[in-house]
A and B are shown apart, each in its own frame.
Chain A
């Protein structure tokens, strides 16, 4: 199909009146946008605004209910990604679609539509190297992708699209796993390529900074509709915020009660942990969290945060080192969790801390089903007591569900997270460990969850908050430490915390 030499310049793309319904929900409602050759266009919007639906309709993953796609003035009906590829459209995802066990070279040639039945590696290598010389950056082609850093992986994704002759690049939150420096580098490369008219870029983001600094046009979506946009030059950050949020009232930012320094509640001493591959993920991590304090851990995803949380949550065995809670060795058993009031808010709760096939009431009872109030005779579970407990928590935490007996998987992401919040925060919390607690949630749910974490801190809980969202850390944390390659490499109090210094340490530049 694309065995002919692809055109050197990107085509003009027009999307007209794109509409997509899922059941009764209008996920996308009459959205239009134009992509002139060499443009750099950002789509802004909250979760659920229809950003992903729009690009999936363009790429042929969804079949739109209405709408037209014009490429260089000709209408095309795209019903699968291969057709989009043939038109020169390529997509880069938030999570890498590289094959980890393969080398960069193998990954690069994978997508060729004219991949020969037998691959002559010598020829392919020569071609790849010639191609790399024309690019603004180079990568080691022989390394397995599993061994590349996140920024290099994202560059490889972009390299792959260019190598495949894609001239319109659609990127879905491409910087969410990168350090600020890496993100600037990757976006800078894209900007350079668009300026040279070698590429058009359509980028989905929720980061105003990136949209304002790199894009030339924006489109803002809310609830499936285009609510504004235009050349970036005429727009300011407050404009964009207003368009994205609309008239919805936001919870007030969390208020921080002034507290004297409390006693040490959680203490890590030279904690070392291995990951699934058997490699060291956390190395000699030491530190304390005091009662009534939020310690924020900043870092790019994959620097040991997940393994650290898993060890504290009891899901992984540490290699060496010690964990102490309120001065005593912490064994991560049910007894110890209860005695010391240790609770955990994980990311991806359906994967990490809930059972999707069990009811809301049951999921709410994971920590309490064997307490005297919920049992008869100490060993029979009282379903009635569980339902009663669930009803009061559903009310208190505003969980939107048909009832306590609804299966958890029927709830929306925000309500699943509220269920976990209700379970983990309704007890007597002395230590709270939270990882990306607001990832994937809309602005209202995010504000509410941040408020509850702050309330726990104000009530005297020691909070260890690991987050990839620096804004979240700057809002909530009393102290921020940076985690890089499994070590705590930098620490700063809240006052005087500087975004750029933190960012540099996240990329290990001291």
Chain B
């Protein structure tokens, strides 16, 4: 890597964009679905960490990383159910509730995950898209996570489903005009809860990527705000699943900047480059927000965009 010099940084950032983007992708797709139904779940950072822990623990105990992924999703869905159920009560603030679940999720993950910090769990395999090549560099570059592929497929599927399926129309109606949904006899609170459960499932799966693929270990510093940034990313992506996909790649690249610079020997301002994704997120938020008019594409029942 060092021999490539600054070109290597670009390669590493591009490679990192694919590698690091997966959790952003899953969380942002999940949050898009949830917010399309008119509810905000700021607790997905906690769900991400809880997913990472439970995936690692289950993979370690069962020997099957895929079972770990599934359990991570189920754990996330459970948290989504909690959020959905409590926010369905009158006068409960969904933004504050998200913060509470963020704290509870991380707390639970640390509490239950203590025994799994030392042991080793089997990792998820890579898809060797580069197997045809003789060059080890090409092979390494084309080793792609199956979860990334799943997310890349999920984005257009979700976009299609929101426009072309019954459930897509139901979710959008509930999120855009709950009175209309009520007039049609649809259970608004139930639809929102289900959308939150599905969003939680995806965020949990995103967490399993952290512990079972990259970085591929479990510790308490595994996630530092990826879940939160993914939520901000949804606003920037204007609630469009495909835009979430591209934005996730952008964020993946930003997150990979610090390690990439470190790999070419630039270590002096390591922590400052580590702040890049947060600063980028804040910058994009400032860019995407407005006091003058409501955001284009924002579901009108959403508390956070009012």
A–B contact (CB under 8 angstroms): yes
Binding site for B on A (CB under 8 A): 80-82, 85, 91, 93, 95-102, 106, 109-111, 115-119, 121, 274-278, 317
Contact B292 A274 (CB under 8 A): yes
Contact B176 A101 (CB under 8 A): yes
Q: Tell which of B167, B173, B293 has the most Cβ of chain A within 10 Å.
A: B173
Known contacts A80-B185, A115-B166, A119-B166; is-contact A98 B180 (Cβ 8 Å): yes
Chain A residue contacts of B166, Cβ below 8 A: 115-119
Chain B residue contacts of A121, Cβ below 8 A: 164
Contact A99 B172 (CB under 8 A): yes
Chain B residue contacts of A274, Cβ below 8 A: 292-293
How far in angstroms is the closest Cβ of chain B from A417?
23
Chain A residue contacts of B185, Cβ below 8 A: 80-82, 85
Contact A278 B184 (CB under 8 A): no
**Bound form: Cα–Cα A97–B184 in Å:** 9
**Bound form: Cα–Cα A82–B184 in Å:** 7
Q: Is B219 in contact with chain A by the CB < 8 A criterion?
A: no
A-B pair count, CB < 8 Å, reads 66
- The main secondary structure of chain B at its interface with chain A is helix
Chain B residue contacts of A278, Cβ below 8 A: 292-293
Chain A residue contacts of B167, Cβ below 8 A: 117
**Bound form: Cα–Cα A98–B165 in Å:** 18
B159-181 contact mask (Cβ, 8 Å, vs A): 1 or 0: 00000111101001100110110
Contact count band on B = 20 to 34
Chain B residue contacts of A275, Cβ below 8 A: 293
Binding site for A on B (CB under 8 A): 164-167, 169, 172-173, 176-177, 179-180, 182-185, 292-294, 297, 300
Give 10 A-B pairs besides A99-B177, A115-B166, A277-B294 with Cβ atoms closer than 8 angstroms.
Answer: A91-B183, A96-B180, A97-B184, A98-B177, A99-B180, A101-B176, A106-B169, A110-B180, A276-B294, A277-B293
Contact A119 B164 (CB under 8 A): yes
**Bound form: Cα–Cα A208–B279 in Å:** 62
CB closest chain-B residue, reference A101: B176
CB closest chain-B residue, reference A80: B185
How far in angstroms is the closest Cβ of chain A from B38?
12
How far in angstroms is the closest Cβ of chain B from A505?
29
Contact A99 B176 (CB under 8 A): yes
Pairs A–B under 8 Å by Cβ, sample size 23:
A96-B180, A97-B179, A97-B180, A98-B180, A99-B173, A100-B176, A101-B176, A101-B297, A101-B300, A102-B169, A102-B172, A110-B180, A110-B184, A115-B166, A115-B169, A116-B166, A118-B165, A119-B164, A119-B166, A276-B293, A277-B293, A277-B294, A317-B292
Known contacts A110-B184, A119-B164; is-contact A100 B300 (Cβ 8 Å): yes
Chain A residue contacts of B297, Cβ below 8 A: 101
Partner of B177, one of A91, A100, A116, A317: A100
Known contacts A82-B185, A93-B183; is-contact A118 B164 (Cβ 8 Å): yes
How far in angstroms is the closest Cβ of chain A from B270?
42
Chain A residue contacts of B184, Cβ below 8 A: 81, 97, 110-111
Interchain residue pairs A-B with the least CB separation, the first 6: A278-B293, A97-B180, A81-B185, A82-B185, A97-B183, A115-B166
How far in angstroms is the closest Cβ of chain A from B243?
16
**Bound form: Cα–Cα A359–B246 in Å:** 50
Contact B183 A81 (CB under 8 A): yes
CB closest chain-B residue, reference A86: B185
How far in angstroms is the closest Cβ of chain A from B127?
29
CB closest chain-A residue, reference B179: A97
Contact B169 A110 (CB under 8 A): yes
**Bound form: Cα–Cα A351–B185 in Å:** 27
**Bound form: Cα–Cα A274–B290 in Å:** 13
Chain A residue contacts of B300, Cβ below 8 A: 100-101
Chain A residue contacts of B173, Cβ below 8 A: 99, 102, 110
Q: Tell which of A80, A93, A109, A111 has the most Cβ of chain B within 10 Å.
A: A111
Chain B residue contacts of A276, Cβ below 8 A: 293-294
CB closest chain-A residue, reference B174: A99
How far in angstroms is the closest Cβ of chain A from B263?
45
**Bound form: Cα–Cα A111–B184 in Å:** 6
Chain B residue contacts of A85, Cβ below 8 A: 185
Chain B residue contacts of A101, Cβ below 8 A: 172, 176, 297, 300
CB closest chain-A residue, reference B294: A276
How far in angstroms is the closest Cβ of chain B from A166?
12
Chain A residue contacts of B172, Cβ below 8 A: 99, 101-102
How far in angstroms is the closest Cβ of chain A from B80?
22
**Bound form: Cα–Cα A118–B182 in Å:** 22
CB closest chain-B residue, reference A93: B183
CB closest chain-A residue, reference B161: A118
**Bound form: Cα–Cα A81–B183 in Å:** 7
